[in-house]
Structure 1
Amino acid sequence: MCLALAPPGAAPAEEEAERLGDAARGAEIFGQCRGCHEIGPGARHRIGPHLNEIFGRRAGALEAFPYSKGMSRAFADGLVWDYARLDAYLENPRALVSGTRMSFRGLKDAQDRHDVLAYLRDFTASPRDIPEAAPTALPREVDLPPEILAIVGDADYGEYLASECLTCHRQDGSDAGIPSITRWPVEDFVVAMHAYKRKLRPHPVMQMMAGRLSDAEIAALAAYFEKLD
């Protein structure tokens, strides 16, 4: 089961910043970054790592790139590139990650940063496509009856059901090739699955998989993945 999800919870300030971001203008500003970074189809590591799928990715997590000691420490500390941290890094890279090799002096203008982040978002499939995910949170696709949201899932049963999910999603929470669903809040997981079940999300495989599940089974999966370490 390939649940196209990503870490949820965009704060209101992040949502407002996204509304202000102009991706077309951000593409122009990103010209300052192209000497070190590639983005888009076929992007490769250069002086800096490629920036595809940057939102929701753990800092220093790409294989085959020789990160600085500072970025490796950020990885060990669990730094994840959400909107707020990317904004801070673009403003002053060395203030957020001491010891980074990134020599860029930063974008001091907040609008410039919002525009660049709007552009980068276009190359991160999960946040762009998942309405409840940071940094592009939108109203939920489906309003579920309270009794469905109130179902307390059986995490042990969810573990049994999850074997099919884990053929695509990584149990360790990494997002290599497909977004992580580890430690997703129960309500967000349940809403997403019911959106697939009602074919409000255009992913035929997930529509098929969700259509096979009962309300109790969806709740069980949600309970399992929320607590999965």
Structure 2
Amino acid sequence: MTGPDVHRALLAVFTLHNAEEVALARAAPPVDPRVLQRLGLPADAHRPDRFALAAGALTAASGAVLAAARRGGPSATGRQAAVAALTGALGGNAAAHLGRAALTRRYNAGSGTAPALLAASATVLAGTVRGGDLTARRAVVCAALGALAVVPVTAAALTLAVRVLPPGAPAPGPLPATAPGGGHGGAVRPPRGPSPHRIGESLSAR
């Protein structure tokens, strides 16, 4: 495939990846509210409708980056660097899904399309190095920076979704903590939630 073709293939795979996550968002374990709080987000920020909007925004932004890179021109090197960063973000997202599946030995929303997303990201990154002005070292650095940006970019997409979509019913909270004797009272232990990986797996700011 040519450069434009692999770019379109990457966008198509990322779209499928986000569709997989959105379709299964209601059945997925809730994100730990403490994780959302550390990111400056409300407890219901990962509500299915908000997550779908955030995933759509991330997909559109990815498409814009890839489309800009195909135009060429005097600032082509900068656009190639943006593509390399995007491949790092998408590849890092896919790797997080696969790593979580390997650790838990269970499927997680997004792990079904993660291998294809990882392969497509690697293919685009390699093609960017071969056919562009970026050196392999600079491309790898850009990809690494993109991988590090997954969580803040996803948080930004969720922040947008929170502002666009009105508040709904309160997010379900944990059951009241009980004292060692079984009754209510005593030292309250913080609720335990799923791994913070799910915030980084949405790229697809998922």
- Give the TM bin, normalised by the shorter chain: under 0.3
Please state which structure has a larger fraction of its residues in helix: 2
Flag the structure with more relative contact order, 1 or 2, with Cα contacts below 8 A and sequence separation at least 6: 2
Output the TM-score relative to the length of structure 1. Answer: 0.24
Output the TM-score relative to the length of structure 2. Answer: 0.26
